[in-house]
Amino acid sequence: MKKPIVVANWKLNPPTIKDARVLFGATKKALRSIRTAADVVLCPPLSYVGLLAKGERSVVFGAQDVSSDARGAFTGEVSAESLRSIGTQYVIVGHSERRARGESDTMVSKKVRAALEEKLTPIVCVGETVRDEHGSHLAELSAELRNSLSEVVRNELSRLIIAYEPVWAIGKSADDALDAHGLHETVIFIRKILTDIFDRESAAKVRIIYGGSVEPANAQPLIQESGVSGFLVGHASLDARSFSAIVKACAVSKK
Ligand code: 13P
């Protein structure tokens, strides 16, 4: 079994490179004693990645988005190859905050393809907008998975990560996040859909991580009781101590 993975999504924070260097330094320091126990990926705003990654061997970086195109007249886009060339190894694809700005499943599937072509690891985000007791959110989740992975072939599944991020749980607090029981059921559901699309053996190899108000207070029960392989952490990754406490919870649980 692979090590758990914890991904920091800094989103549009912090405001300047000076602040980013402070947060980066504090995060590295806090992680020093626990780094080997879990894979850690930092996804700062792209404008900081090259600067922070320069000469840096101990930290793995990811981007928060990627272009579906490799090159050409596409103003504002950033290709997978260029991400790779500045030291990026992972990329978040199809985050709900990008989907809310118009990114469709088709666009997401093309971005996943572009990332795989360049040997970047796509962290493919899926998650329902609202959850209802009749389970109709499962249809939304299933469609999102099928469509977002439409350009992936079976033997590539082990090269990507699924981030289950229910939109309603993002940006709140540990008390409002999905609980371990609900997460466990959803992880089983996601693996069932992956088995339907691909096959059982390939589906079993995919790392499924959770995002949505992961904080030190809920990290341990979520990792121990739900079957996820790690977390995609938003606001708590902007505080080095909180983030390292989350990493530590994962490291301890998989010993
Ligand atoms: P929060 O941890 O702030 O809820 O954000 C989750 C997220 O969107 C990570 O990608």
CA end-to-end span of the chain:
11
Say if CB 91 and CB 121 are below 8 A apart: yes
Catalytic residue chosen out of the listed positions 144, 165, 215, 235: 165
Annotated catalytic, 133?
no
What would the pLDDT profile of 171-226 be if each residue is shown by its tens digit? 999 999 999 999 999 999 999 999 999 999 999 999 999 999 999 999 999 999 99
User: Which residue is it, tokens 């992956």?
Assistant: 194
C-alpha–C-alpha distance, residues 140 and 135, integer Å: 10
Query: How far is Cα 253 from Cα 196, in angstroms, rounded to an integer?
Result: 30
Catalytic member of 95, 103, 137, 144: 95
Residue indicated by tokens 């985000």: 125
Higher-confidence position of 236 and 136: 236
Q: Give dist(CA 246, CA 30) in Å, integer.
A: 11
H/E element holding 180? helix 180-197
Q: What is the pLDDT of residues 111-124, one digit of tens each?
A: 999 999 999 999 99
Residue 95 annotated among the catalytic residues of the structure = yes
